[in-house]
Amino acid sequence: MFKKILIANRGEIACRVAATARRMAIQSVAVYSDADAGAKHVGFCDEAVHIGGSAPKDSYLRWERIIEAAKATGAEAIHPGYGFLSENEEFAQACATAGLVFIGPPASAIKAMGLKAESKQLMEKAGVPLVPGYHGSDQDPALLKREADRIGYPVLIKASAGGGGKGMRAVDKSEDFEAALASCKREAINSFGDDAVLVEKYAQRPRHIEIQVFGDTHGNYVYLFERDCSVQRRHQKVLEEAPAPGMTEAMRQQMGEAAVAAARAVNYVGAGTVEFIVEQRSDGSMNFFFMEMNTRLQVEHPVTEAITGLDLVEWQLRVASGEKLPLAQEQLRINGHAIEARICAETPDNNFLPATGSLHVYKKPAHTAFERGQVRVDDGVREGDAISPYYDSMVAKLIVHGATREEALARLDDALAQTRIVGLSTNVQFLRYVVRSPSFAKANLDTALIQREEAVLFKQEPVGLAMAAAAAVARQLLDERALAGADPFSRRDGWRSHGVVQRRFEFEFHGEPAKAALTYGHDGALHLALGDVAGPLLFTETAQGIEIQFAGQRMTAAVYAQGELDHVFTARGATQILSIDLLAHAGEAQAEGGRLTAPMPGKVVSFAVKAGDKVSKGQPLAVMEAMKMEHTIAAPADGTVQELLYAPGDQVNEGAELLKIAV
């Protein structure tokens, strides 16, 4: 077994690999960029080496620097994690040339499976069922469009060298194909350095089910059952679970054997995932088609660990060191049900726009890190850390395990309710809505679940204005009471030497203003009036939060103030309410109009207009790239473009004015 390995990655997967290495008495070496100098994974490993600038191309994608770091620190092997260089055949070959073990498949297997078109041709020869499509090398746009027309819409354009939902576009009709192809190729070249694509039939009511496979250097192969990853947004996974609901033993065996056949076809070694599109027929039967093979450990591997009781990173290390697979197929068993939720810095109600910022508050549910348990959290961040625009938007993975799917669902909802993040927008509340939605709860799954359940997943409010305001008032009064010993005449807690006192509050809740009056009684009682809602306000601070009673309602809330914004977390859900400091905003001027600003830090990809152009509300104006994804900026109103303030390729900060529009 290795004595020391280098982990060529960052964040939660670097911490995850290092945890298993530590348990196996293997030393670990971290690498880090400028942006990650103080990151969690740097201190979590035994050693750390700086490898370059913040952008991945200047650090985590510079494999020659990573190999130099491994040799300089005496590492015997390199674990690539997922993303970055994990599926780069040149890197795998360079490791071998340098006398280092690449903890993954041989370069030949990566090459064979790395290009989707070629891999599908290989799978066809191996007898693995394929989705109808065009997988050829001729990339003439006119030819690709003809092929799409021949296949029939809807079709899916996919980057041949892609993965992780990047370089992928669904097209519903012929006239939209050319624009989707151009965007897909642009994103593919930026993410993978290769703009080749393939075109496939987009299956109706498809499920995304993948099989975890393992191979060793002795010719042994097993499949560690399946994971259902159908709940997706932007072709990226949101929730993953194992085993797949509704899976029969016969189909599980068929898919598992097909996955092993795919691995055998390329002499695969180590952990890999064979992904299938599963078509759900009207008669209730299912048919599966090979989609792609990911030649690495998957983000969602913890759910497989939970139901099998195995450590897949340990298996990777043992296989890479030359050992045989620890278990044979007949020794593998499924135990219970596991679900993983990806907690991401994004705004679900705004088309899942990525968010950046600092984790001012980061509270996790009670959990067992990196080990099998009822609740597990895998992350690479700590309270106070920043989520930057350079890397993926994922903050953490929350994994739960239960005896049944129903038990796992309840456990996940409770764990999400205990997850509290302040400082940037996240999808935590959205995940709770998904988990509670009729489709997910009843396992009515397909890749369009989020669109289908839109009415119950977006624009909900779990806590009304009255209780949100009551929580904000209670939090402010408790903060003021904490100023023990302060001059009572300078405090704002209602203390006066005589008379009944009334205090005014102003709020903004979902963009709507609200006013409240708090009356202090002679006996210390508090009475809160908020529009038509009024009554005594009672509250007590406990270890769980603030217990509040108002207007016939009771709840326990944890309230965190970020400037004037109060973040309110309750068992029923989380919300935010703006508590306006009236003195601070006295005489404040109105914001100027006619400005179009960047909604996030990123790079300007292109402009679709020029100075002098007339534009209509909703018309695409510019394309930005942030967190490895493209985002279209649309006109907020009708008007005329006066000036473009940046050029394609420029980096911009959040809030930077991109162009001027006269409205």
* Pair type for strands 386-387 and 501-509: unpaired
Contact by Cβ (8 Å): 66, 85:
yes
- What is the DSSP code (8-state) at residue 101? E
Spatial distance between the Cα atoms of 204 and 61, rounded to a whole number of angstroms = 37
Measuring CA to CA, how many Å separate 324 from each of 218, 305, 358?
A: 6, 19, 44
Task: Find the angle CA(350)-CA(356)-CA(362) to the nearest 5 degrees.
Answer: 105
Q: How would DSSP label each residue in 460-474?
A: --SS-HHHHHHHHHH
Catalytic residue, from 10, 207, 227, 296: name it: 296
Give dist(CA 135, CA 139) in Å, integer: 10
Cβ(456)–Cβ(437) below 8 Å: yes
Q: Which amino acid is at 56?
A: P
Is 296 designated active site? Answer: yes
Amino acid (1-letter code) at residue 630: E
Cβ contact 401:374 at 8 Å: yes
How many whole angstroms separate alpha carbon 475 and alpha carbon 469? 10
Q: Where is 278: in which H helix or E strand?
A: strand 270-280
**Token digits for 507?**
């709020």
- What the block records as the tokens of 530 is 């908020």
Contact between 440 and 416 (Cβ < 8 Å): no
User: Sheet holding 101-102: strands in order across?
Assistant: 47-52, 27-33, 4-7, 77-79, 101-102
Q: Quote the tokens at residue 366.
A: 């009670």
Torsion of CA 382, 313, 297, 109, to 10 degrees: 150
Could you give the residue numbers annotated as active site?
296
